[in-house]
Chains A and B, each alone.
Chain A
Amino acid sequence: MEEFRFIDLETHTAFENMAIDEAIMLAMKDNHVPPTLRLYRWNPSAVSIGTFQGLTDEVDVEFCKSRGIDFIRRITGGGAVYHDYNGEVTYSIIIPKGHRLAPPDIIESYKILCGGIVKALEYLGIEGEFKPINDVNANGKKISGNAMTRRHGCVLQHGTTLLDLDVSLMFSILKVPQEKISDKMIADVKERVTSIREILGKEVQVEELREALKQGFSEALKIELKPSRLTTEEQETAKRLAQEKYSSHDWNFSR
């Protein structure tokens, strides 16, 4: 079975997390590292926005500052995601262009890689399904959002799987005019988004989701996960990107 480098569940700031994903791409571009799967959490909890979104259009920056929630622009498209430290696990998978798991067709690519999430949910006893363009649904509701970029000679896909969901906190973080937040809107979101704990009706722990994601990706993608870590080169690149790019006002407020 093909081997992947596996960087097991780690906790970082938003800036470090996004910098590490890009640092891995840059190292892979130079053939310095093999295909890689990472699992990570965000501390402080943070909101990430899609690369084409307007930060102040999407995020209530003042609210986030008052609650110690970080905000960051991703290099990937897609929408705004709230990464609660206790409420989700994020993965990223980085593979060279032309790899069997990264066909030219984008939707097909999402489908293949999201297979890891579908399988992970199955381990937890949840029937999930890929929902084009970039979601995984369970019970007809979104439980995982994913986003891909193709650059530096690589394909990077990262995504979140929801363990828990606090809709009213989400509405405070994301910019929805307060007067418009009605019980109806909260109900609407609950109709469209779900979480592992909601479906199973029990306090599934981060550790269980981590184990399920590990198994799920390994089995669905037919890869053997070899526990490893970032190279010194990657760590240095990540440190530089976190400082100079991802925590900068210029990057985060560029749209």
Chain B
Amino acid sequence: MHEASYKVPGGKLVKAKVRVEAGKVAEIVILGDFFMHPEETLQKIEDALRGTPADEASIERVISKSLTESDAIIIGATAKDIAKTIMLALSSSD
């Protein structure tokens, strides 16, 4: 899995571990010291991301949609920050 961390300016650390297959997210784990209420939403976001085209706009859209559906909020990061971290992981060599 490709891995990257991103410290949100004025916020928390987001970390992503991701594997892509045929241009789509195959495996994804999102980690970090941010807050999300309700916490179970993170699992839902990961589930929703599997099969999503591995581009930043699609990923951000799926994250935002999951947050809205769960009436969830993130403190210390945004959907955009998480999408950005996932893209950083995809462009990393390890």
Contacts and interface: CB of A to CB of B under 8 A. Distances in A.
Interface residues of A, number: 22
B29 A78 contact: no
A57 B13 CA distance: 13
Interface in B10-46: 11-13, 15, 29-39, 42
A77 B15 contact: no
Contacts of A106: 35, 37, 73, 75
A205 interface: no
B31 A78 contact: no
Contact of A54 (B11, B15, B42): B15
Interface string A39-60: 0000000000011111001000
A77 B34 contact: yes
Interface of B: 11-13, 15, 29-39, 42, 73, 75-76
A52 B34 contact: yes
Interface string A149-183: 11100000000000000000000000000000000
Secondary structure at the A interface, as helix, strand, loop or mixed, is loop
Interface of A: 50-54, 57, 75-80, 106-107, 133-134, 147-151, 255
A134 B34 CA distance: 10
A228 B11 CA distance: 38
Nearest to A155: B37
Nearest to A50: B33
Contacts of A50: 32-33
A22 to B, nearest CB: 12
A51 B76 CA distance: 14
A55 to B, nearest CB: 10
Given A77-B34, A255-B29, A255-B31, A51 B75 contact: no
